[in-house]
Amino acid sequence: MDASLYLSARLQVLADLSARRQATPDLVSVLEDAVAARRWWAEQWPEGEIYVAGLVAQDVQDAAIDAGSRWPLCLTCPDAPEHALHIEPDLGGPDPVWVCEESGEAVAELGRLS
Ligand SMILES: [Zn+2]
C-alpha cells in the first residue's frame, strides 16, 4: 500500500476546489473524511487503489450538492445555462478526468482545473 496515493488524491481534489474558490472549511473537512474513508476501503480491496482519487472527488461533489452548491461548474461552454462537470470514468479511475455534463467533452485531468 502506497501512502502517497492518498496524499496525491487529497492534493488533486484540493487543487480543484481551490481553482474554483470552493475550498471552504466545510468542503475541506469533507475531503479529509472522504480520503480517510476511501483509504480504509482500498485497504480492504487493494485493486481499488486506482479508483481512489476519482471517488474522493465524487464524494466531495456529492457533499457540495447536499450543501446546496455545485462543484465544479463548467466554464468552457459559451451561452449555456449553469452546469457541472463530472468525473469519468464513472467508477473513479483509472486516470480520472473532469468531463462537461452538456458537451461530453473532457475539460481537465483531476487536479488540473483552472
Ligand atoms: Zn459545459
Answer for the pair 114, 19: CB distance below 8 angstroms, yes or no.
yes
Neighbours of ion ligand 1 (CB under 5 A): 74, 77, 100, 102
How far away, in angstroms, is 114 Cα from ligand 1 center? 14
Give me the amino acid identity at 106: A
How far away, in angstroms, is 87 Cα from ligand 1 center? 13
How far away, in angstroms, is 83 Cα from ligand 1 center? 6
- Return d(Cα 98, Cα 36) in angstroms, integer: 22
Is pTM beyond 0.85 here?
Answer: yes
How far away, in angstroms, is 99 Cα from ligand 1 center? 8
CA proximity to 38, closest of 51, 25, 24, 23: 51
Q: Please report which confidence band the pLDDT of residue 97 belongs to, taking 50, 70 and 90 as the band edges.
A: very high
- Tell me the CA distances in angstroms from 5 to 11, 22, 37, 57, 63, one per residue in order: 10, 23, 14, 14, 22
- In sequence order, the 6+-apart residues with CB closer than 8 A to the CB of 97 are 87, 88, 106, 107, 108, 109, 110
Q: Is the pLDDT of residue 26 over 90?
A: yes
Instruction: Please give the pLDDT value at position 2.
Output: 73
When pLDDT is averaged across residues 36-50 and rounded to a whole number, the result is 94
